[in-house]
Amino acid sequence: MLKRIIFLWLLLLASAAIADDHVHEFKLANGLKVLVQEDHRSPVVVSQVWYRAGSIDEYNGTTGVAHVLEHMMFKGTKKVPAGQFSRIVAAAGGRENAFTSRDYTVYFQQLEKSKLPLSMKLEADRMANLNMSDSEYAKEIQVVMEERRWRTEDKPQAQVGEQLMSTVFEVHPYGRPVIGWMNDLEQMTAQDARDWYQRWYAPNNATLVVVGDVDPQQVFKLAQKYFGPLKAHKLVKRKQQAEPEQKGERRAVVKAPAKLPYLAMAYHVPSLRDPEKDWEPYALEILSGVLDGNASSRLSRNLVRRDRIAVDVSSGYDAVNRGPSLFEFDGTPSEGTSVEDLELAIRSEIENLKENGVTEDELQRVKAQVIAADVYKRDSMFYQAMQIGMMESTGLSWKALAEYPKHLQAVTAEQVQAVARKYLVDGQLTVATLDPQPVDESKPKHKEMQHAH
């Protein structure tokens, strides 16, 4: 659910800003796309390199390799020894990090504007000259395995989420965890990571996004200087995998040590593919807002405060993906209430909405949230850059951002009801539940790790 919330806020923070201030688009001869957004409020610049390579591009047997390579990108080149990348950025007064998702891998720095050349120099160097030694790999793969332990294996709700995804997607790569299956990590080699790097880390598979107190033409010249000499790769032809139609309800149960039960549900729904012609994704966004947009939305009002069936309950929809989308629910039942009771209550809310629709007040409240969010459109250069990169890396365009609020505003109550009736149906439902087992308090937990380099 968190991803959908983050996405919608990123979208709303960035959309009006992009409508007001033109994004400058350049393309180098080697295929690198450069997108520059001016924001002169403070002498700061955010620089992000987006590679269109995530867990969606992995093969069985090497799940998690995209994330492993992200870690290895901080292990040095001939010019920058292992461990020095982050120190150099910190010494320049900046901060940096990276993350891997299903659809892309992103590396970013936030610096005083005069330090932008440093950022580009470092990123261009490791785009082409990564020095991946067996000894550094052997240390880092242990770090990744430990990360999997504390992120997933020590967290029952994360185990349920992982089980839900592998049940709802029987064929599509989205069914595999971004961090990878432990067995694959245990058997992975440095060569697997090198192969991934050679396959996808190329200027013609990347987008450079720069937002801040900059001159677009100067940014383009810097990009030309540092990234221009890098050679394009012949990219592997991607085979688009489609998830076969689900033809009946699916269920999974996770038995794990925990104090409380937990419920996760997912329905197959469409992703945004044509921002101008599609209407269903916008209606699904509004539907999610009606159910779980704020404290007065239906799930919180009825299931948490009125009926006290749930301690917490939420819904979410993420329209922007390279692959298929889901409409999801999750929640923790109140003491004395079962996950079955909570599931029935959620399904009752869905049926009520399908039968009686949404009120004009609800519709206007959700749309007002969209407008209110625009007030914060310039709060963060980082999130402006994030939204531009996200749209570009999923096959859409930053140009669609300016029109997004308009499309949400155009959604009617009838359209919200229509998508609920069409997609929130039993045959498209997958349910995963946590069956709590006794907790052994004497068993040590794995130490939580900061995902920094």
List the one residue out of 370, 348, 356 whose CA is nearest residue 289: 370
Sequence letter at residue 90: A
List the one residue out of 367, 356, 365, 354 whose CA is nearest residue 327: 354
CA distance 50 to 47: 10
Decide if 114 contacts 88 (C-beta within 8 A).
no
Cα separation of the two ends of the chain: 27
What length is written for the chain?
453
CA distance 378 to 19: 12
What is the enclosing helix (H) or strand (E) of 386?
helix 381-393
Active-site residue, 343 included: no
3-state class (DSSP) for residue 253 = strand
Among candidate residues 25, 38, 58, 70, the one labeled active-site is 70
Decide if 18 contacts 37 (C-beta within 8 A).
yes
Give the pairing type, strands 310-317 and 325-333.
antiparallel
Retrieve residue 373's tokens.
């969010």
Q: To which residue do tokens 């033809």 refer?
A: 247
- Annotated active-site positions, please? 70
